[in-house]
Structure 1
Amino acid sequence: MTTENAADETAGFSAAERSAMKQRAVELRAEGKTGVKKADGLQAVLDSIAKMEPDDRMLAERVHVTVTANAPDLSPKTWYGMPAYANADGKVVFCFKNAGKFSTRYSTLEFQDAARLDDGEIWPVSFALEKWTPRVAARVTELVKAAIS
């Protein structure tokens, strides 16, 4: 956490958090009006990725390609302005939280309740991504497949 964010948080939500909540409100209004079609969700995800800083964008693009190849039944959509992937019920399975959005040290791949990663009484649901390597690609593929199993 940066000093700037720490100071903002003592007074309430940070500017990045307020922005994410506003983006989510826009997403909910759009879903409520017509229901978001898969093509609309895909475009929203691609637009979200295009706005990222270069390092975050590269990671998000690689995650997107991995998800598309290994979990074609998931629907891309944005969630609090972040690229996310939802199951047939519309529940977000996981999202990509880019470092630049919240001024954090690294981007994360964050799994939600709809993900099937359960492993006993405690398991990780957020994974830091610093750079894309063959090892990272294999691990993300494994996590995506497990989440939808």
Structure 2
Amino acid sequence: MDITPDIVSAFRAYYPGFADADDWPDATVTRYLEEADDETGKRWGEYGARGIKKRGMFAFAAHRLVLAKAADIAVANGGTPAAPARLASKSIGGESASFAVPTPSAAEQERYGDLLTTIYGLEFIRLRQRAAMGGVMV
């Protein structure tokens, strides 16, 4: 499907954190919405005002945008983009904090890849499980 300016606008309205076109250029948002369309096949139904495909596309695109932004920041700071990981603990000076971070099994890591690393990826997984339920009309 063609990703139109209306779809980009709908994405920005759905996830207001991506509303700033200077931080999130239209071309970049369009690119990840195109990827999201590819990730959401026939089982997701048609793109529509309230459909699961729309929400799945938006969640997947937001996930990819966040990861791309993190990679851009790493490069801008002279680093190399790394595979995302969840923070389990952090120490600053004499203070430290630990977080309850579930560790996915090897099978889950293979099945979900980096989708487990953002709230948008987790939402995409939830929607993908719903889209997989039931039969498909052809």
- Fold match (TM-score > 0.5): no
| Higher normalized strand content (fraction of residues) | 1
Normalised TM-score (structure 1): 0.28
Bigger radius of gyration: 2
